[in-house]
A = this chain, B = another copy of it.
Amino acid sequence: MADPATDLALLRDRLGVIADLEQALALLGWDQHTYMPAGGVEARGRQAATLAGLRHEHLVDDRLHDLLGRLEGRDLVGDDAALVREARREVDRARRVPADLVARLALQGARGQAVWAQARASNDFAAFAPELRTAVALQRERAAALGDGDPYDVLHDLYERGSSAERVARVFAPLRTEIRALLDAVRGSDRAPDLDLLARPVPEAAQEAFAVEMVRAFGFDFARGRLDRTVHPFAQRIGPGDVRITTRYRSDRFAMALFGTFHESGHGMYEQNLPAAEARSPLGDSVSLGVHESQSRLWENLVGRGRPFWTWAFPRLRAHAPGVFDDVDVERFVFAINAVRPSLIRVEADELTYHLHVMLRFELEQRLISGALDVADLPAAWAEESATLGLPTPPDDREGCLQDVHWSAGMFGYFPTYTLGTLLSVQLWEALGRAVPDRDAHLAAGEFAPVFDWLVANVHDQGSRLAPEELVERATGAPLSADAYLRYARAKYGALYGFA
C-alpha cells in the first residue's frame, strides 16, 4: 500500500490540473464579459466547452476515484482529512451525473439564457415557457442523479452545502413578519429621504475614481486584482493573486456603480484572501454562496451605507465631484442612500425589501421543482405572491417573472443564498463589533484594517476547511438566524425614519 504522503501528493497534483482548468475557464468567462469582441462568441463557446469537458474527464477519472478511496482508508486529520473530504464531494457529484445529462444541462443553460434574453426584451413569456419547462425537467433529472433527498434540497445544496428548504423557511419566517412591521412603520413616518439626490449627475470618471479610492481603502488589492466595466457586474477569481471585479456606470445614477463596486469588492476581497497555499485545491475555494454574499453585503451595506463610513467618505466624494453635493450634509445623504420603498426589480431593491424579492422566488421555485406549480401558471403565481408579500404587482412579465436570468440558466435553489448571506453579514458585523469595540470610530477615521483583518482571519483564510455552518458558529458564536439582522434593521430604520 502506498505511503499516504505519496498519495496525498498525487492527489494534489490531480486536483491542481483541475484547478488550473477552472482558472483558465474563469479567464475565458471574464474576458467574454469585458473585452472580447462580438465576433469571438462562437469560438469562445467551443473553447469553454472543451476546457469544461477536460475538467469533467479529470474529475471522473477512475485513478482519482481510487486514490481517494485509498486515502479514505487512512487515518487522516486536519487539512489532509478536509482535502480528501472536499475532493470526494466534488468527485462524487461529477461521477453521479451521466455524461449525456452533463451535455444536455450545458446545452440548456446556454440556450436557455439566449431564449430568456430575447423573451425578456420582447416581454414574451410564452416564448420562454417551453425553455423553462425543459430547465425544470432537467434540474429534476439532475437532482435525482445527484442524490435521493428532496429534489429542491439537493439543488439548493449545490449552492449552500448543508442547507435545506426547511432551514431556509425557518430562517425566513421571522424576517417576513418583521419586514412587514418595519414597512408599516416607514409608511407611517413623517420623514422622507430626498431621492432627487440620487439622480444628480456625477461624471463616470469621477464615480470610478471615487469607487477605486474607496475599495482600495477597504483592502481590495489592485496589485492582485482589477476593476473593469461590464453589463452585469460580477467578481471573478482567475488565480490566487488575480481577482477581478466589474461594474457599470450611469452618470445620473451614481449609487448604482458606487454600491455595486463596494459589493463586488467584498466578493473580491474574500477571493483575494482565501488561503494562498491551497490555491490549486478545493480547500482554497470559497465555502458557499451564502458566505460569499455575506462578504459583499458587509462592505456594501454595513460599511458602505453606514453613517460612520460617510463621516470620512462624504468629503472625499465631494472632492471627486465638485459642486454636485455642496448643498447637502452627510445626514441627508445617508438617509437618501438608505431609502426604503417596495419596488418591482430585485436588483434595484433597497436593503430591506430586497428580501421580499428573494422570498417570492424561493416560494415559486420550490413549487416549480416539486411540480405543484405549472410553468404556464408562473406569471399569475408571481402576481399573487407579490401581493401577499407586499410587493407591487408587475405591469408585465418583463418586470415580473422574466426579470432574472437564474432559472433560464437552470439555477434553482440559488436565490435563498442572497438573503442567507445578507443575514450572515449582519451576524458577522455584530461579532466584529464585540471583537473590535471601537469599530465605528475606526470607520469614521477611514481605518478599515480592523474590519478587514477580522474578516480575513475568521472567514477568508478558512477557505473550505470548515462546513459553512461550522464557520458561522465559530466566527459568530451562534448558528445563522435573522436575529442580528432584525436588531440592525430596527435600529437603523428607526433612527432614519424616527420610529425607534
- The residues of A with any CB-CB pair to B shorter than 8 Å are 16-17, 20-21, 23-24, 27-28, 31, 35-44, 46-47, 49-51, 54, 221-226, 228, 238-242, 279-280
Contact = CB atoms under 8 A, between A and B. Distances in A.
Contacts of A21: 50-51
Contact of A239 (B44, B221, B238, B239): B44
A398 B238 CA distance: 36
A225 B39 contact: yes
Contacts of A24: 24, 28, 47, 50-51
State the majority secondary structure of interface residues on A: helix
B223 A43 contact: no
Nearest to A54: B54
Kindly report how many copies of this chain are found in the complex they form together: 2
Contacts of A38: 223-224, 241
B43 A226 contact: no
A31 B225 CA distance: 13
Contacts of A226: 35, 37
A212 to B, nearest CB: 13
A20 B239 CA distance: 21
A39 B280 contact: no
10 contacts: A17-B50, A24-B24, A24-B51, A27-B47, A36-B238, A36-B242, A37-B226, A42-B240, A44-B242, A47-B239
A43 B224 contact: no
A251 to B, nearest CB: 20
A443 to B, nearest CB: 27
Nearest to A51: B24
A21 B40 CA distance: 15
Contact of A43 (B36, B50, B222, B279): B279
Given A50-B20, A51-B20, A51-B24, A39 B238 contact: no
A27 B23 contact: no
A222 B40 CA distance: 11
Given A24-B24, A24-B51, 19 more contacts: A16-B50, A17-B54, A20-B46, A24-B28, A31-B31, A35-B35, A35-B226, A37-B223, A37-B225, A37-B241, A38-B241, A40-B238, A40-B239, A40-B241, A42-B239, A42-B241, A43-B239, A43-B242, A54-B54
Given A47-B20, A47-B23, A239-B43, A224 B54 contact: no
Given A23-B47, A31-B27, A40 B242 contact: yes
A242 B326 CA distance: 47
Contacts of A279: 43
B37 A224 contact: yes
A63 to B, nearest CB: 14
Contacts of A241: 37-43
A331 to B, nearest CB: 38
Contacts of A238: 36, 40, 43
The 7 A-B residue pairs whose C-beta atoms are closest, nearest first, are A43-B239, A39-B241, A40-B242, A39-B224, A20-B50, A20-B47, A24-B47
A43 B221 CA distance: 16
A38 B225 CA distance: 8
Contacts of A27: 27-28, 31, 47
Residue of A31, A39, A51 ringed by the most chain B CB atoms within 10 A: A39
A47 B193 CA distance: 50
Nearest to A31: B27
Contacts of A47: 20, 23-24, 27, 239
A98 to B, nearest CB: 20
Contacts of A222: 37
A41 B50 CA distance: 24
A303 to B, nearest CB: 23
Nearest to A36: B242
A102 to B, nearest CB: 16
